[in-house]
């Protein structure tokens, strides 16, 4: 009734399990990297907020314009170093994420490849079996049509090789023709 089997083949189940494990580990790796990036961004935002608060206090407490300029220039150097450290942290996180994803891929690629190969083999085997079944069914149908004994309208079996001439009802066969299974009788005078 359905073109697909109702039960899941073991090869399909193991391949889906391998793919699911691979995708789960990959998503865990990506989520961990994303979480570390978010933590780093939060840390940078807190640091920059503290720096700007300190700079604002020094600028508000300055009495002269020269103190104002010296307070602003004194804070630019630490801020620049913190931004450089932030860039280094981002580069390290990106490299770690790439290494972690490569490790996860390497860990799962053999199992996933093996299950995919097994699934492909099973699909090919099933297709071959289906083709053979269809071929056998066609051969059986052809054999039934070319059966040496065919059924006539009255249910009697008649050999296929026997020549049977069909004449319309109410007509006589022409001279020289004879019906299959009938013998020609000599004409006798009474």
Residue 181 region, left (φ>0) first, then alpha (ψ -120 to 50), else beta?
left
What is the rounded CA–CA span in Å between residue 130 and residue 144?
A: 21
Band (180; pLDDT cuts 50, 70, 90)? very low
* pLDDT tens profile 47-85: 889 888 888 887 787 777 777 777 777 777 788 888 899
User: Is residue 102 scored above 70 in pLDDT?
Assistant: yes
Mean pLDDT of 162-172: 49
Question: What is residue 83's predicted lDDT score, i.e. its pLDDT?
Answer: 87
* Contact assessment for residue 55 and residue 75, using Cβ atoms and an 8 Å cutoff: yes
Q: Report the predicted TM-score, pTM, of the whole model to 2 decimal places.
A: 0.55
Examine the pLDDT at 177 and tell me if it is beyond 50: no
Rounded to whole angstroms, how far apart are CA atoms 146 and 39? 80
- 106: Cβ contacts below 8 Å, ≥ 6 apart: none
Residue 169 or 42, more confident: 42
How far apart are alpha carbons 58 and 54 in whole angstroms?
6
Tell me the sheet residues that pair with 151: 157
The whole-number pLDDT of residue 79 equals: 81
What value does the mean pLDDT of the chain take?
A: 78
**Separation of alpha carbons 127 and 140, rounded Å:** 20
pLDDT of 3:
63
Give CA angle at 15 (10, 19), nearest 5°. Answer: 150
Which range in 35-39, 137-141, 148-152 is most confidently predicted, on average pLDDT? 35-39
| Tokens 């051969």, located at residue | 139
């Amino acid at each position: 009734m359905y073109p697909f089997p109702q039960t899941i083949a073991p090869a399909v189940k193991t391949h889906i399990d391998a793919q699911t494990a691979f995708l789960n580990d990959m998503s865990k790796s990506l989520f961990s990297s994303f979480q570390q990036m978010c933590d780093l961004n939060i840390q940078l935002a807190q640091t920059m907020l503290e720096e700007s608060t300190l700079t604002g206090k020094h600028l508000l407490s300055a009495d002269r314009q020269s103190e104002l300029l010296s307070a602003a220039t004194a804070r630019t150097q630490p801020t620049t170093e913190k931004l450089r450290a932030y860039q280094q942290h981002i580069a390290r996180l990106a490299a770690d994420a790439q290494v972690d994803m490569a490790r996860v891929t390497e860990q799962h690629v053999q199992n996933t490849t093996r299950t995919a190969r097994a699934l492909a083999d099973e699909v090919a085997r099933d297709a071959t079996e289906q083709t053979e079944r269809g071929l056998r069914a066609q051969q059986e149908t052809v054999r039934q049509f070319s059966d040496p004994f065919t059924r006539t309208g009255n249910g009697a079996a008649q050999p296929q090789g026997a020549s049977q001439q069909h004449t319309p009802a109410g007509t006589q066969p022409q001279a020289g023709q004879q019906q299959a299974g009938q013998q020609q009788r000599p004409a006798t005078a009474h």
